[in-house]
Structure 1
């Protein structure tokens, strides 16, 4: 074999590797943090997703895992904003298979109304993000 043939084979193998090797681009693996469980299930939030919004609130990905899961009751993925000064939240988007599948049309700030899981998210995210 000539040098030119070897060079061509190596280049072809490298090109195939680049094409077929899956690469993650600009994505951090989630670092899930659990809040205290409730009778309904478990809520987690992702430390690597925390970001400050222009209005001072904090955006975070969270995941609700129901106590019992079926085809109907599955994990629910939320993109939520947390307002630390008002102790309130809003769900920006929701999904079952991935984040932001469905944008929330009702983007009003809500009181957690004693929800132990949401209060846990607000408390931990505000402590972490500030």
Structure 2
């Protein structure tokens, strides 16, 4: 008798929780930001949930730069970037200030990070994560 009473109480409590606390819909593409070591200019994050392999073997990832100080002029910058892990190179395919994919980059040449710690961090972490 005690076990049935406990079960009923638990089921009633669970029912009340379900009724009064709505579940958030699961969004498979919601970002899971991973930060690389910060620099004196700010920080760089990449989205663990938005990585895809391109047909040429490179990896496409969403990334965002958060400047150390923000204002109306200096805002977060959103990037869709491709990374060639074998060469340690990258290219920014699309850039945005308010949302991803606002401005198509006309210069799609592969670039070396040239010592940029934030870009090097993204390349290292994304390549390690995707292999």
With the shorter chain as reference, the TM-score category is 0.7 to 0.9
2:8 alignment counterpart: none
Kindly provide the CA deviation profile for residues 89-115 of structure 1, in whole angstroms up to 9, marking residues without a partner as x.
Answer: 000000011101000000000000000
Q: Displacement, 1:27? A: 5.2
Equivalent-residue separation in structure 1 for 2:54 and 2:29 (angstroms) = 19
Match in the other structure for 1:67: 68
CA RMSD of aligned residues (A): 1.6
- Number of residue pairs matched? 108
1:90 partnered with 2:91: yes
Inter-partner Cα distance in structure 1 for 2:30 and 2:55: 25
* Runs of 5+ unmatched residues, structure 2: 1-24
Structure 2 matches for 1:75-86, cutoff 5 A? 75-86=76-87
2:114 corresponds to which residue? Answer: 113
Query: Within 5 A, what are the aligned runs for 1:1-130?
Result: 28-130=29-131
| Cα distance in 1 for residues equivalent to 2:56 and 2:116 | 24
Unaligned runs of 5+ residues in structure 1 are 1-23
* Counterpart secondary structure, 2:109: coil
